[in-house]
Structures are given as structure tokens and as C-alpha cells.
């Protein structure tokens, strides 16, 4: 099963773009700024969440649509369409993203029931040297591909935590704090569980990957506090005075951390070379793609990934992608780095927001 008959209307620099006749490998080539990544971003919005750029909706709309845009795609199985998915923003309701599945209104979370999507972009190259918050968001995005409800749990937890902070600042009474902390704890326990399960599954998949040119990362989930309901609730109650003074909660899932070291050397990923970090990111992305494709179609978006790999690593990457079940979308400024897969790929030339099949 794969995405096909993809349409973009007034999305960023794409006025009206259609891509049909897709394959397992799909290659978008063109100059920088032509609109290749915009196509990948559109595909990433056919899943729950904010897409690969985490951009505001008004940033995505092209100039011609008055704040609106539309993205659609068919799920193709054995050559036949099995579902039509779409997401759009109406110009008169520009602050809200809407979803349709087979013509009927649906929730964004329901998109995740049809296929799982993952991506690797140049912006993620600094993940290991970035903040703990950036790594939490990365874990949450990977968890969302496995469990479409994970994003709503994170949103509920964060909203309840903000309300607790406001009550502490205003000197709210203990009854109100007890009630809101029950919500914080309920959602926080579920968020922490989802993250820990994702990291455990990803670690198992990484250990099962064959040895090769990609450095293997070792992942450890470090919770930011107790993970069981009663213990976490008691901790929030105990630390009210400290948290009031700090202006924020200093214990809980909002303090979770993903620790990554390189197998063999035991060196922290943040201290590894740029090439080693990229190799570990690719290994994580490939392992996640295997997990995400279990029971559902998988789609993997790789933005400008091949140009930064030597020929040996490029060949190894293509081999692993070929063996996987995910449909793969790649971008590059030229076909040269993709010579090994061009003959088996659908290739499009992207220029100034237009797409031409080669």
C-alpha cells in the first residue's frame, strides 16, 4: 500500500501540483528553493501533528488562496485506490486544519490509523546537541507514528500543567490544586509510558539491525520524575512551594530526557563527529520506519539525506530502504547521488513550485 495521486493546492509555492504514478522510491530533484521540501511537508501533514517544519498554518498557505490550502492523496493497494485522504484550511477558518477521509469529515488523529509516517530533515542534524525539549519532541513525533493518540495526550498534559502553574502563581487553594494535579498526573503518566515504550521498542529494533557503515546509537529514556500515578501525584503536591518559587514545575514528564551514546565507543552523541551523528540519526530513522510499518503502510520522507553520505553509506542506505516496506520520498539537487535507484524510482523535476515527471 502506498500514497498516490497526491495533490497540493495553494500550498506554499505550489499553486496546483499533482504527483501520480508513485513507486517505492520517489525522487524529487531541483535547485534549492524550488519547492522539494514543500512537497515533503505536505505529505507530513497527511498524519496527525504539525508536520515536519512545525510551522503555523498561515505560513503554509500560498499567496493566491487567502489563507487557505488543500492537500490530498490516495492510498493505493495492489494498484487500486483503497482510501482518499485530505487535509485543508479554509480561508475563512484559517486558524484550523480540517480533515476528510473518503469524503467525510474526520479528526486529524484518525489519519494515523491509515498509515504511519516518519522523516529525517537537515534541521534534525543538531538533535543531539540541541535542548532536551527538542529531543522530547523528537520522541513524541516517533511515538505518534506508532500511536495516533499520543499527541492528544501530550497536549492535555501540557494544558493541565500550564493551569497548575497559573494556580500556583495566583496562590490557588489546595482543593483546586488537587483537582488540576490529578489531571496533570493522569495525562503525564500516559505520556511517560508512551515515550518509554517507544524508546524500548526502538532500542530493540536498533540492536537487531545488521552491522554496517552506520554507527549504532544506544538509547536510554530518563524520566523527569516518578512515572506511576500515585508517586507522581504525591511529588507534585510535595513540591508546590518549590515550583511556585521557580515559576514552573521542576518534576514530571516535561523534564524527560533522551540519552544517546554511540555503541562501541560509549561516547555521548553530542560529543561525536558530525558524520557519526548523522549516521546514528539515519540508524534511528530506519529502525523507526520498521516499527511504524508494522500493521500499517509506512511512508518515509528523507530530505537532502544522500548528498551528505559517502558512496558506501549511500549504497547501504538504499539497500536497507529497498528491503523495507515503507514508501520512500527523497530530495536532492541532482540525480547523481541517486544513480543506484533512479531506474527503479519515480522521478520528478521541481522548479519554482511546479513538478514535471521525468
What does the alpha-carbon distance between residue 143 and residue 255 come to, in Å, rounded to a whole number? 17
The angle subtended at Cα 69 by Cα 3 and Cα 5, nearest 5°, is 20
32 is in an annotated binding site: yes
33 is an annotated ligand-binding site residue: yes
Find all residues with CB under 8 Å of 93, minimum gap 6, and list them: none
pLDDT tens digits along 116-128: 899 999 999 999 9
Q: Break the chain into its structural domains and give their ranges.
A: 1-115+297-358, 127-295
The percent of residues above 70 in pLDDT, for the chain, comes to 97
Q: What's the pLDDT band for 100 if we cut at 50, 70, 90?
A: very high
Fold of the CATH domain 127-295: Glutathione S-transferase Yfyf (Class Pi); Chain A, domain 2 (1.20.1050)
Q: How confident is the model over 222-251, as pLDDT tens digits?
A: 999 999 999 999 999 999 999 999 999 999
Residue 205, marked binder: no
Q: What is the CATH number of domain 1-115+297-358?
A: 3.40.50.300
Please say whether the beta carbons of 348 and 27 come within 8 A: yes
Q: What is the pLDDT of residues 167-219, one digit of tens each?
A: 999 988 899 999 999 999 999 999 999 999 999 999 999 988 777 788 889 99
Quick one: pLDDT at residue 324?
A: 84
| Mean pLDDT computed over 46-57 | 91
Q: Is the pLDDT of residue 64 over 70?
A: no
Asked if the model's pLDDT at residue 79 lies above 70, the reply is no
**Residue 34 is labelled as binding a ligand:** yes
- Establish whether 35 is an annotated binding residue: yes
Amino acid at each position: 500500500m502506498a500514497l498516490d495521486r497526491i495533490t497540493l493546492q495553494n500550498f506554499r509555492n505550489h499553486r496546483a501540483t499533482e504527483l501520480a504514478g508513485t513507486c517505492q522510491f520517489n525522487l524529487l530533484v531541483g535547485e534549492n528553493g524550488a519547492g522539494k521540501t514543500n512537497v515533503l511537508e505536505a505529505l507530513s501533514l497527511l498524519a496527525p501533528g504539525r508536520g515536519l517544519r512545525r510551522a503555523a498554518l498561515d505560513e503554509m498557505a500560498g499567496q493566491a488562496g487567502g489563507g487557505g490550502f488543500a492537500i490530498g492523496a490516495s492510498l493505493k493497494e495492489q494498484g487500486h485506490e483503497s482510501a482518499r485522504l485530505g487535509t485543508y484550511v479554509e480561508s475563512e477558518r484559517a486558524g484550523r486544519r480540517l480533515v476528510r477521509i473518503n469524503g467525510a469529515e474526520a479528526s486529524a488523529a484518525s489519519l494515523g490509523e491509515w498509515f504511519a509516517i516518519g522523516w529525517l530533515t537537515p534541521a534534525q542534524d543538531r538533535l543531539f546537541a540541541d535542548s532536551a525539549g527538542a529531543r522530547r519532541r523528537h520522541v513524541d513525533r516517533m511515538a505518534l507514528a506508532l500511536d495516533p493518540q499520543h499527541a492528544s495526550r501530550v497536549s492535555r498534559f501540557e494544558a493541565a500543567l500550564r493551569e497548575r502553574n497559573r494556580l500556583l502563581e495566583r496562590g490557588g487553594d489546595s482543593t483546586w490544586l488537587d483537582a488540576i494535579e490529578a489531571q496533570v498526573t493522569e495525562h503525564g503518566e500516559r505520556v511517560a509510558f508512551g515515550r518509554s515504550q517507544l524508546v524500548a521498542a526502538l532500542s530493540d529494533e536498533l540492536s537487531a539491525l545488521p552491522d554496517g557503515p552506520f554507527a549504532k546509537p544506544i538509547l536510554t529514556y530518563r524520566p523527569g520524575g516518578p512515572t506511576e500515578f500515585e508517586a507522581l501525584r504525591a511529588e507534585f503536591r510535595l513540591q508546590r512551594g518549590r515550583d511556585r518559587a521557580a515559576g514552573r514545575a521542576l518534576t514530571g514528564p516535561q523534564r524527560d530526557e533522551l540519552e544517546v551514546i554511540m555503541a562501541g565507543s560509549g561516547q555521548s552523541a553530542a560529543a561525536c563527529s558530525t558524520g557519526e551523528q548523522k549516521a546514528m540519526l539515519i540508524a534511528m530513522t530506519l529502525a523507526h520506519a520498521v516499527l511504524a510499518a508494522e500493521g500499517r503502510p509506512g511512508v518515509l520522507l528523507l530530505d537532502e539525506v544522500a548528498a551528505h553520505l559517502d558512496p558506501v553509506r549511500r549504497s547501504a542506505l538504499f539497500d536497507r530502504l529497498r528491503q523495507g516496506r515503507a514508501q520512500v520520498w527523497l530530495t536532492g539537487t541532482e540525480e547523481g547521488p541517486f544513480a543506484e535507484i533512479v531506474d527503479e524510482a519515480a522521478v520528478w523535476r521541481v522548479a519554482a513550485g511546479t513538478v514535471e515527471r521525468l
